[in-house]
Amino acid sequence: MSNQAEAIKQFYASYLDTFHASEAKAMVPFYHAPCLFITDQSVTLLSNEAEIEKLFTQVIEGLKGRNYSHSEVRDVQIKELSREMALFSGLAVRYTKTGEELERLSATYTMRESNNAWQIVTVVAHSPETLVRFA
C-alpha cells in the first residue's frame, strides 16, 4: 500500500471516530467547502462551513432517534488519481446501541489533499450492492 493510500485510511479512521463522537461542528474540517452530497433522491451543495455543520447536526440527530451506536466500514477501496486526489469507497454497516444491525450503505468519496490535509469534496451514497471496486 502506498503512503498516500495509508494516509487516506488514517484520515478516514479519524473521520469515523469523529462521527462516532456525535459532534457536528467537529465534522466540518473533514470537508472542503464547497462540497457536494449526492443520493438517489437529491443533490446537495454545501457552500460553507455553517451548511456542513447544519447537515451533520441533522444526520446525527436522525441517527440518535434510531438508537444508533456506531458504524463499521468494510471492503475499503482506494484509487489514487494524482498526488492530491483520490477516490475512497466503502461499505458502512451501522449498529444500534443494543448491537443490532441498523442498516448498510455504500459511499464513494472524492478526496483532495491541500496544505497537507485531506478533505472530502464529494460524497455519493449508494446501495451496498453497488460498492465501487478499484482493480
Residue 86, burial from CB neighbour count under 10 angstroms (0-12, 13-18, 19+): buried
pLDDT tens by residue, the chain, 135 residues: 689 899 999 999 999 999 999 999 999 999 999 999 999 999 999 999 999 999 999 999 999 999 999 999 999 999 999 999 999 999 999 999 999 999 999 999 999 998 889 999 999 999 999 989 887
pLDDT for 8: 96
d(CA 130, CA 100): 23
Taking the domain 3-130, which CATH number applies? 3.10.450.50
pLDDT for 134: 85
Under DSSP, the state recorded for 34 is: E
d(CA 17, CA 12): 9
pTM: 0.92
Output 106-110 pairs: Cβ under 8 A, ≥24 positions apart. 106/130, 106/131, 106/132, 108/132, 110/85, 110/86
